[in-house]
Amino acid sequence: MNRREAERYLSALAEVRAAGGRAASATVIRVHGSAYRREGARMLVRPDGTYVCSLSGGCLEPAVAEVAARVIASGEPVTVSYDLADDSIWSLNIGCSGAVDIRIEPIGEDVVTAAWLAVLEHAEPAVLVTRLSGPGNRRIVFAATASIGELGDPALDAAADAAARARLRGTYTASGTDRCAGVELFFEVNQSPPELVVLGAGHDAIPLVRQAWTLGFEVTVVDARAAYLDAELFTGARLVLTPFDGLGSALTLPRGAFVVVMSHHMERDRMALRFAFERDPAYIGVLGPRARYDKLLATLADEGCVPSPAISGRVHSPIGLAVGAEAPEEVALSILGEILAIRSGFSGGFLAGETGSLHRASAATRTLARS
């Protein structure tokens, strides 16, 4: 779930509980072949059968909601398999040539459930480990702090902790099933939202920030001009007012952040680039033609600031995907398309003709590794 999905999920659950009702959670735990969404996608089903968030393009949810009503009544979790190609029972004839397994469980008020809801609320990196056979125990594993809950065996707890932390450390983390100590477990990975730092608050930054927020990014907008940092225009973003020669003291750049340099001013962009070069971002996008970036590089080199090969490999100039973008909204789409591709390990090319998974990068679609 991205940040916006989690907010909708938690808000709906709070409303159900405030009305004294019970709800169920449905989670994709396995995907065989092609499906609309991947493992870890969640939706919440209310007592009246309505739901929020999605597991598919809208075709799977009504069938899941029917089962969820029985789960709410019985209090017992179930796992249901849906074949997306056949039209037999529990099958939908969608034509996706795949199948999905959905775990549907009542949302209780136990310690592990409360802790996991807090993880989602605070966008905290953690893994919810669910035992798929036997007692169905659950355990929440954090990167550094003590785990919460038990899976029924100390050796299994230890093996699950190691496997969960390996997922948290992965370059491209993903939820999924695995076997630990001979037991099948489902690992639901929750990561902190990606950070986008926009250095420059011109009019073309407005759609970029708006679209990034919708996609679940935590966004920071920086400018030296107070009049440009309008909270109504940059809804949901953190606004930082500072001279660009004071970026180092006014702004902490999170490791792995995505940085976009777009102040439309050579001197400010030079200082913004220097600031980014001296940190450890995952991506530096520079608005404008390549010749402009080369000029900025030459000026910085005269000052003794030369980016390392690793940092140079993360610079994208010109910024964005080649979609013929012109209007600010189109440019924003181009930039975020590139950022999403890099974050997921894809090249950003056309999917036409791709016969493998559309959700996992193949040799043809994966980007070059970045250190």
Same domain, 124 and 150: yes
Instruction: Say if 349 falls within a structural domain.
Output: no
Domains identified in the chain, total number: 3
Same domain for 102 and 207: no
Query: Of 192, 214, 241, which residue is a domain's last?
Result: 192
Mean pLDDT over the full length of the chain: 91
**21, pLDDT greater than 60:** yes
The reported pLDDT for the residue numbered 84 is: 73
Say which range, 50-59, 169-178, 334-343, 355-364, has the weakest mean pLDDT.
355-364
Give yes or no: residues 278 and 259 share one domain.
yes
- Segment 255-270 shows an average pLDDT of 96
pLDDT at 85: 66
Same domain assignment for residues 304 and 340: yes
The whole domain housing 70 covers: 1-108
pTM over 0.85: yes
pLDDT at 371 over 60: no
Which whole-number Å values give the CA distances from 144 to 140, 165, 168, 285, in the listed order?
A: 12, 9, 11, 32
Query: What's the pLDDT band for 134 if we cut at 50, 70, 90?
Result: confident
Q: Are residues 141 and 57 in the same domain?
A: no
pLDDT for 123 beyond 70: yes
Q: What is the pLDDT of residue 369?
A: 34
Note whether residue 272 is domain-resident.
Answer: yes
Q: Which of the four pLDDT bands, split at 50, 70 and 90, describes residue 94?
A: low
pLDDT at 366: 47
Q: In this structure, are 326 and 200 located in the same domain?
A: yes
Note the helical H segments in the chain: 3-18, 61-74, 111-121, 154-169, 205-214, 247-250, 266-277, 290-302, 309-312, 328-344
d(CA 77, CA 109): 15
Query: Cα–Cα distance between 314 and 258 in angstroms, integer?
Result: 10
Q: Do 245 and 334 lie in a common domain?
A: yes
